[in-house]
Amino acid sequence: MSDQTPILNAKDLSIFYGDNEAVKSISLPIFEKKITAIIGPSGCGKSTFLRSLNRMNDFIDGVSHHGEILYRDQDLYADSVDPVEARLRIGMVFQKANPFPKSIYRNIAWGPNINQLGGNLDLRVENALKQAALWDEVADRLDDSALNLSGGQQQRLCIARALAMEPEVILMDEPCSALDPISTLAIEDLIEELKAKYTIVIVTHNMQQAARVSDYTAFMENGVLVEFGETDQVFTRPKEKRTEEYVTGRFG
């Protein structure tokens, strides 16, 4: 396994919805500029875990945490940490594309604008759209409503929106689950390319997707981290029997 220090590091992390323990003492490192896939059956807590990495669980009533998540040695849940700033550095792409009901341009410019990131805004929008492989399709209609884009384009727009913030980490919560196979491939290609600049954590139902795009894979079941390792190893020589059964499609 890698000897580099992780950019995010969950240590003995448990997450509760009220009294219900959805994530059970998980310890999982997220390595810089790598793609980490989290797989597991529905309801295993993988999305809950992902949302805890940029404090999006703050918006869900009754969620509480035990243990810690270190972001470069700083506890994300420490009282002194500003969650708004944490989300600036750790961006997110959601399961269902959620473009704002605004123009394509204003969707991308929205984040940089409110956070006064400075620089040339037009250029920032263009770069983000190029990185998200959407520029060629929308360059001549930036003022059109983002809601007129197709589902796959909307999801790439949401990726571009996250990229425009130049975050260090991008969390992706089943970003392709609502997309057709062609859009899915486009986004997987995109994720590969983004690895050069960003750290990516992707939650997915699709095992082929995890195997195709990720460097590391974590397999979760019933809130427990069953196995974590390099993707090759997890898929070809899993240490745990449950992992083997899952990745070979014998259950789930």
Question: Residue 251: how many CB atoms within 10 A of its CB?
Answer: 9
**Of 40, 111, 152, 223, which one interacts with other proteins (CB under 8 A)?**
111
Q: How far is the CB of 128 from other proteins (least distance, A)?
A: 12
What's the chain's Rg over C-alpha atoms? 18
Partner residues linked to 201 by β-bridges:
36, 171
Q: Give the span between the Cα atoms of 71 and 85, in whole angstroms.
A: 12
| Residues across the chain | 252
Using rule CB under 8 A, residue 200 touches other proteins: no
97 versus 190: smaller Cβ distance to other proteins: 97
Residue list 85-104, contact with other proteins (CB under 8 A): 85, 87-88, 91-92, 94, 96, 98-102
Render the burial of 133-159: b for 16+ CB within 10 Å, e for the rest. Answer: bbbebbeeebeeebeebeebbbbbbbb
Q: How far is the CB of 236 from other proteins (least distance, A)?
A: 34
| Residues contacting residue 222 through CB under 8 Å, at least 6 positions apart | 24, 44, 45
User: In 3D, which of 29, 194, 50, 60 has the Cα closest to residue 128?
Assistant: 194
43: left (phi over 0), alpha (psi -120 to 50) or beta: left
Q: How far is the CB of 207 from other proteins (least distance, A)?
A: 26
Distance of alpha carbon 170 from alpha carbon 35, whole angstroms: 10
Q: Min. distance of Cβ 193 from other proteins in angstroms?
A: 21
- Binding of residue 84 to other proteins (CB under 8 A): yes
Residue 54 lies near other proteins (rule: CB under 8 A): yes
Selected from 23, 26, 132, 162, the binder of other proteins by CB under 8 A is: 162
Amino acid code (one letter) for 12 = D
Q: At which residue do the structure tokens 């898929």 appear?
A: 235
Among the listed residues 2, 5, 64, 115, the single contact to other proteins using CB under 8 A: 115
Q: With CB under 8 A, what is the number of residues at the site for other proteins?
A: 26
Of 127 and 231, the one with the shorter C-beta distance to other proteins is: 127
Q: Rule CB under 8 A: is residue 114 a binding residue for other proteins?
A: yes
Closest CA to 48 of 93, 87, 89, 14: 14
The stretch among 11-19, 56-64, 187-195, 207-215 that binds other proteins (CB under 8 A) is 56-64
Residue 122-161 contact track with other proteins, rule CB under 8 A, x = bound:
-------------------------x----------x--x
**Binding residues vs other proteins (CB under 8 A):** 54, 56, 59, 61, 84-85, 87-88, 91-92, 94, 96, 98-102, 110-111, 114-115, 147, 158, 161-162, 165
